[in-house]
Amino acid sequence: MTRPADAAVPAPAAPLDADAGEATGQAPILTARHLRRYFPVPRTLGKRGPAAQVHAVEDVSFDVAPGEILAIVGESGCGKSTVARMLAGLSEPTAGTVESDGRTLAAHRSAADQRLVQLVTQNPRAAFNRRRSIRHALHQPLRVHGLADKDERERRALETVQRVGLSAEHLDRMPRDLSGGELARMVLARALLVEPRVLVLDEPTASLDASVKATVVNLLLRLRDELGLAIVVITHEIDIARRLADRAAVMYLGRIAELGPASEVLHGPVHPYARMLLASIPEPDPARTGPARAADTPTAVGEVPSAVAPPPGCAYHPRCPLATAVCTAEVPELRRIGAVDAACHHADA
Ligand SMILES: Nc1ncnc2c1ncn2[C@@H]1O[C@H](COP(=O)(O)OP(=O)(O)OP(=O)(O)O)[C@@H](O)[C@H]1O
């Protein structure tokens, strides 16, 4: 089935992302259902007609289960952060819903629903008030949510910093007195304080040195295991996604191009865009040569088109070496190709 990019989205009848929780055997804790987000473009002086819109996110659906890490990868501007903000209730979808346990989480969420999904944004140094101690920063979310008295707040703050590998001594410090790696762990501690079931991490390692990245990756894997957290990691660092993710989605111009097990999507994808994206980054393990590294990897031509006027049909068609007439006319739905779901008319040709 195909539809024009701005047509109304019908309610789904079947699970959208049947593989979520396959590895853990658990039902999804968070579902993105046909999410769209358009931003108005300021009107040029004197221009008439309907205002233009940035199509930041266009019909994105996926599930994530407890104990599962889903990576969302793609080039700058493809809509990853906008998806993250909608998952956390910080941006209202133009259409579509975010659901948990079969319930829609309103864009303006109750305190309990805010706690359920915690977003950690990049740049940990900017995440703390530089005039307040780390202790204050960690007591604050508990105070805001009315969760604990002072002694209990202190107990929970201490327990949580220890969980991320830091100690009581770090609570007394000011943000400037923590290293980049310690701050990265401290933002995670602050998110964990309110006992979320889902962590959404937007570029969690982007500003860190290689050795610190490894520490944060290991910490996230441990937190996932110990707490049974569902984690959505937004990253443009494919190597980080490979180390973390059970499942992965590749986004292009607001849409999911490919979704499936990370072992497939991040090593041997089938969608021509995903193959081009992976082929453009160095393979850390030279012994590993999946299809993404093969000589027949399709090479994209041209630049990423504007999200204000995305191309009709498959948004990748102007750059895709496999494109034919159908690609210019029909939006490809995600469909099962091998072990993954890919939105391409020709990926299995
Ligand atoms: N508040 C906004 N107003 C207008 N356009 C926006 C707004 N926020 C995002 N956009 C646009 O929406 C598109 C998706 O942006 P988004 O930040 O979600 O992408 P991204 O994949 O996270 O990029 P990056 O990796 O660079 O952070 C871009 O074209 C961006 O310019």
Among protein residues, the one with the nearest Cα to ligand 1's atom 30 is: 77
Cα 202 to ligand 1 centroid, rounded to whole Å:
13
* 76 touches ligand 1 (CB under 6 Å): yes
Q: What is the pTM of this model?
A: 0.89
Ligand 1 atom closest to the Cα of residue 251 is 21
Among protein residues, the one with the nearest Cα to ligand 1's atom 17 is: 81
Token representation of residue 146: 């009315």
Per-residue pLDDT of 154-171, as tens digits, reads 999 999 999 999 999 999
Among protein residues, the one with the nearest Cα to ligand 1's atom 18 is: 79
* 91 touches ligand 1 (CB under 6 Å): no
* 81 touches ligand 1 (CB under 6 Å): yes
**Model confidence at 318: pLDDT above 90:** yes
Domains and CATH numbers, the chain: 30-42+51-342 (3.40.50.300)
When pLDDT is averaged across residues 300-314 and rounded to a whole number, the result is 84
Per-residue pLDDT of 171-217, as tens digits, reads 999 999 999 889 999 999 999 999 999 999 999 888 888 888 999 99
